[in-house]
Structure 1
Amino acid sequence: MDETREKKMTIKRTSKYKSDIAGWLIILPSIILFAFFVWEPLIESIRLSLYSAKGMQTIEFVGFDNYAKIFNHPDFAAALRNTFIYIVWSLVIGFFVPIFLGVLLTETVHLKGFFRFGIYFPNIMPGIATVMMWGYFFRPGPTGVLNILLEKIGIEPQVWLTNPSWTIPLIILTMTWKGAGSTALIYMANISGINPELYEAATIDGASILKRVRHITMPSIFSLGKTLLILQVIAVFQILYEPLIMTNGGPNNASISIMQLVYNYAFRDFNYPMAAALSVMICLVLVVLSGTYFKITKEKEY
């Protein structure tokens, strides 16, 4: 009996090892590609950030001097401040709009498919084309589309994107128009999974739409909202081409982001070590945010 049991255990271990090897062989190409396109550039960026360079050719080891130069650079404080302002405005404007649209789509009875397509349509457009279109829309002076429309009702042309107080909110408005539709559909799918008997019971008790949303819908999408909030913060922290195309970081660095500062170091000043150093700093922040995201999603699974 003991020999038979031992043989069975040996067969199980062998089959387990074979299945493990097969699994590793399946994912091995993905691991190699991931290491080549992610880990190797990351390690090279860390190495480059510790050297002075002429172009991409390293000259001498300087330690953390590039990091110190970044903190002392006059644009760093503005870029860091603006990045957090982007995040705040994205939560004020962009976080609640998809929730509202998702609830509205769920409560819509007629032409639901048409409204789904209309809300998702901006996501189909290329990002650069969207930014350029809204840039023409908010162009200051008499040639801007919005100013032309306002002139028809007797309102003087406004400066819009050249007003430092309005630049970041208008860029966030553009991003919200572009991305709210897909997030709204995620909320709508989550709301559709709520037991309809809850809504029926609330309707029988005389609950209005607002009360049904407040007491049934919102508690049900709370966990999803936490997850999407962290993902939104991670995405907005890496904002680049919207301010780059619409304002080029202006006026007077009023809309420059931390990622645009990396772009300026690398492709305007050709200072690749400082660009690498700032990229490493951004990577550390994103690691913290990603860790928070995984912690929240793990709690959601439990």
Structure 2
Amino acid sequence: MAGRNKYRANNKTVTGIKRKDAVGWLIMLPTIILFAFFVWEPLLESIRLSLYTAKGIRLERFVGFENYIRVLKHPDFLAAFSNTFTYIFWSLAIGFFIPMILAVLITETTHFKSFFRVGIYFPNIMPGLATVLMWGFFFRPGSTGVLNIILGKIGIEPQVWLTNAKWTIPLIVIIMTWKGAGSTALIYMAGISNINPELYEAATIDGAGILSRIRYIILPGIFSLAKTLLILQIISVFQIIYEPLVMTNGGPNNASISIMHLVYNYAFRDFNYPMAAALSVMMGIVLIILSGLYFKITASKEA
């Protein structure tokens, strides 16, 4: 009798769990359908398109990996590939440390912390295209550029700025950093706020200055967070497109073209959708690898 009651109780528990699962799946079903329609279906269609020749978007003949080979042999691919890694280098040299420095400075500030937080986050509120157009006027070559007008007041000749191949990518990265550093700095500030206050108290008792607190308390406390944000930044920079597209159109002489910009050129300038799909698939594989690395770092941090 006791065994029968136990069986009934277990059966009710299993039935309850199944009902909860069914309700959860019903709640998620619209999202899953939309995700499959707007993400997985275009992704699978891009893979299929990359294996065919096409007239417009109408598939014609199966060619296997021929489109991938054509992409790799295209004269613009090497420039876009190397430029993308140049973007990553400068984004790490400039954009990776600035949010960290801002977060530390604001954390160590005694007064007007809220004002500084709003101030550094304000550029994130602006639409991305408006930001690019604004900085385009700022770096415009000749005597009409804002920066050249300012420099002219102190006797410096107008510079070409974005039309100088050596300066194009670093200047674009500076614009990207100005736009996104504030939000990243807020994440670092949240990480710093989670550091045990007793460590600061012990450091104060020992007479540690601000540099010692930064070196021995703050930096070790946000090290795991910095590793995660590093991978996310690399993934983001791999997908850069509208900054070089709007400001320089990939120039001068392909000095600022990125891989995603090259995808745009294949699709909307040359109307070669199979090659655009092939390069998109190649980029997708790289981003999947980077995302897997991100999840591995995140999992090790949680463990």
CA distance in 2, matches of 1:47, 1:155: 55
How far has the Cα of 1:198 moved from its partner? 1.1
How far has the Cα of 1:194 moved from its partner? 1.3
Number of equivalences: 302
Residue 263 in structure 1 maps to residue 264 in structure 2: yes
Q: TM-score normalized by structure 1?
A: 0.99
How far has the Cα of 1:79 moved from its partner? 0.2
Residue 171 in structure 1 maps to residue 172 in structure 2: yes
Counterpart of 2:5 in 1: which secondary structure? helix
How far has the Cα of 1:190 moved from its partner? 1.1
How far has the Cα of 1:197 moved from its partner? 2.0
CA distance in 1, matches of 2:204, 2:248: 50
Counterpart of 1:59 in 2: which secondary structure? strand
CA distance in 1, matches of 2:213, 2:141: 44
CA distance in 1, matches of 2:12, 2:200: 54
How far has the Cα of 1:208 moved from its partner? 1.0
Partner of 2:239: 238
Structure 1 segment 115-126 matched on structure 2, within 5 A: 115-126=116-127
Which amino acid in structure 1 is aligned with residue 275 of structure 2?
M
CA distance in 2, matches of 1:139, 1:208: 44
Partner of 1:12: 13
How far has the Cα of 1:260 moved from its partner? 0.2
Partner of 1:106: 107
Question: For residues 78-112 of structure 1, what are the alpha-carbon distances to aligned partners after superposition, in whole Å with 9 as ceiling and x for unaligned?
Answer: 00000011011100000000000001110111111
Structure 1 segment 146-295 matched on structure 2, within 5 A: 146-295=147-296
How far has the Cα of 1:205 moved from its partner? 1.0
CA distance in 1, matches of 2:140, 2:269: 25
Which amino acid in structure 1 is aligned with residue 157 of structure 2?
E
CA distance in 1, matches of 2:22, 2:111: 54
Structure 2 residue ranges without an equivalent (≥5): none
Deviates more, 1:6-15 or 1:268-277: 6-15
Counterpart of 1:157 in 2: which secondary structure? coil
CA distance in 2, matches of 1:138, 1:231: 28
Counterpart of 1:40 in 2: which secondary structure? helix
Question: For residues 218-250 of structure 1, what are the alpha-carbon distances to aligned partners after superposition, in whole Å with 9 as ceiling and x for unaligned?
Answer: 000001101111110000000000000110000
CA RMSD of aligned residues (A): 0.7
Question: For residues 166-191 of structure 1, what are the alpha-carbon distances to aligned partners after superposition, in whole Å with 9 as ceiling and x for unaligned?
Answer: 10000000000000001101111111
Structure 1 residue ranges without an equivalent (≥5): none
CA distance in 2, matches of 1:278, 1:104: 42
Partner of 2:87: 86
Counterpart of 1:207 in 2: which secondary structure? coil
Counterpart of 1:53 in 2: which secondary structure? strand
Partner of 2:37: 36
The percent identity for this pair of structures is 72
CA distance in 2, matches of 1:16, 1:124: 44
Question: For residues 19-52 of structure 1, what are the alpha-carbon distances to aligned partners after superposition, in whole Å with 9 as ceiling and x for unaligned?
Answer: 1111111111111000000000001001111110
